Amino acid sequence: MRTELEFVPLQLNAMSLNLGVKSPLLALRKPARTIPFGPTGLADILQGFRLFAGSMDVMAPSIAEAARRLLRTEGTTLFVPENLLNEGNKLRLAISDGIPKLIHEPLIEKGTNDRILVENLCQIGGREPEIDICWIPAAPESIERMWSIWVAQIHDLMVAGYPGCSGCGGPGSEGEWDEMASRARMRVK
């Protein structure tokens, strides 16, 4: 198989002119081959990723809602397992630094090892709470992993300017939270 190569002059762009390039550059060009590909549109390509979807996709809205609830509530208490007390205090300081208008950042207290609880707002792991609590089910052995995901969401929201901005809370942040529908979605998965 023989591939022919040809040299072609490139167009000068504004950047190359600003860099003081005086003459056109020569580039090596290899003829391209078109390879047929099944999916034809963006939606078709994205459907291929459904195989990789997991339980985190179903939990993502609840994780975001739990993060939003923590960030927009003053003076609440965050109960964490003993092994996450230091991380809880780091989060408290990050919230204090990230949201200066917040007068009373959450208090951090030692809780049980099977859950993370923001008093009267949200819960990660543990037994299913009342319907007014945003709940993210998690096995006790995955609490640290869920903590990391939740804290990353909290940091992302703070960087976006939440809660002091309009529309930066992510999908579902503008409407009323439907906890019953959220739990139903997680049960189906």
Does 32 map to a domain?
A: no
Model confidence pLDDT, tens digit, residues 145-179: 999 999 999 999 999 888 877 777 776 677 889 99
Residue of 35, 131, 150, 26 whose CA lies nearest to 88: 150
CA atoms 80, 157, 60, 134: torsion sign:
positive
How large is the average pLDDT for residues 70-81? 94
Q: How many domains would you assign to the chain?
A: 1
Does 172 map to a domain?
A: yes
Residue-averaged pLDDT of the chain = 78
Given this model, what pLDDT does residue 27 score?
A: 43
- Does residue 136 register a pLDDT over 50? yes
Given this model, what pLDDT does residue 11 score?
A: 47
Per-residue pLDDT band for 18 (boundaries 50, 70, 90) equals very low
Does 29 map to a domain?
A: no
Pairing of strands 107-110, 77-80: parallel
Does 41 map to a domain?
A: no
Per-residue pLDDT band for 189 (boundaries 50, 70, 90) equals low
| Distance between CA atoms of residues 188 and 102, nearest Å | 38
Instruction: Name the more confident of 99 and 124.
Output: 124
Per-residue pLDDT band for 57 (boundaries 50, 70, 90) equals confident
Does 121 map to a domain?
A: yes
| pTM, to two decimals | 0.69
Radius of gyration of the chain (CA): 25
Model confidence pLDDT, tens digit, residues 29-38: 445 454 444 4
| Distance between CA atoms of residues 163 and 155, nearest Å | 12
| Distance between CA atoms of residues 80 and 74, nearest Å | 18
How large is the average pLDDT for residues 69-96? 95
- What is the span of the domain harbouring residue 122? 56-188
Query: To which residue do tokens 């319907």 refer?
Result: 131
